[in-house]
Amino acid sequence: MEKCASLKSKLGEAANEKSEQNPKELEKEIKELKRLVEIKTREVNRLGDLCDAFDEVEANYRTKVSGLIKENEKLKAQVQMLTPETTLVPSNDRVVITTF
């Protein structure tokens, strides 16, 4: 509770300081704050545009990667069909390799 009272007191002091400033100082501060808001707004818009562009690039790469994965799976299947399977089959005391 004591901290809250202290904070309220500090806020009150800050409000009093602002009200004691002359109108020219307040106008100057308001003008500067508006300028900063404009700068920040432009930066937010710029970053938003960059995000949109990145989303497009990312979607293209995802499509390419997906296509390459499918192509890779097809190639593996072709290699598997062309490669004879070998298995080890025990026969008496020795191992015989058979090809299917």
Q: Which range marks the domain in which residue 73 is found?
A: 22-99
- Calculate the CA 23 to chain-centre distance: 45
Residue 42 amino acid letter? R
Reading the chain (100 residues) residue by residue, the pLDDT tens digits are 566 667 667 666 766 666 666 888 889 999 999 999 999 999 999 999 999 999 999 999 999 999 999 999 999 999 888 887 655 555 565 555 555 4
Q: How far apart are CA 16 and CA 54, in angstroms?
A: 48
Name which of 97, 95, 72, 79 is nearest 87 in CA terms.
Answer: 97
pLDDT confidence of residue 83: 80
**Residue 17 forms part of a structural domain:** no
Q: How many domains does the chain have?
A: 1
pLDDT confidence of residue 10: 67
Structure tokens at 33: 């704050």
HEC sequence for 30-97: HHHHHHHHHHHHHHHHHHHHHHHHHHHHHHHHHHHHHHHHHHHHHHHHHHHHHCCCEEEEEECCEEEE
pLDDT confidence of residue 76: 92
**Residue 80 forms part of a structural domain:** yes
**Residue 1 forms part of a structural domain:** no
pLDDT confidence of residue 80: 87
Q: How far apart are CA 89 and CA 36, in angstroms?
A: 80
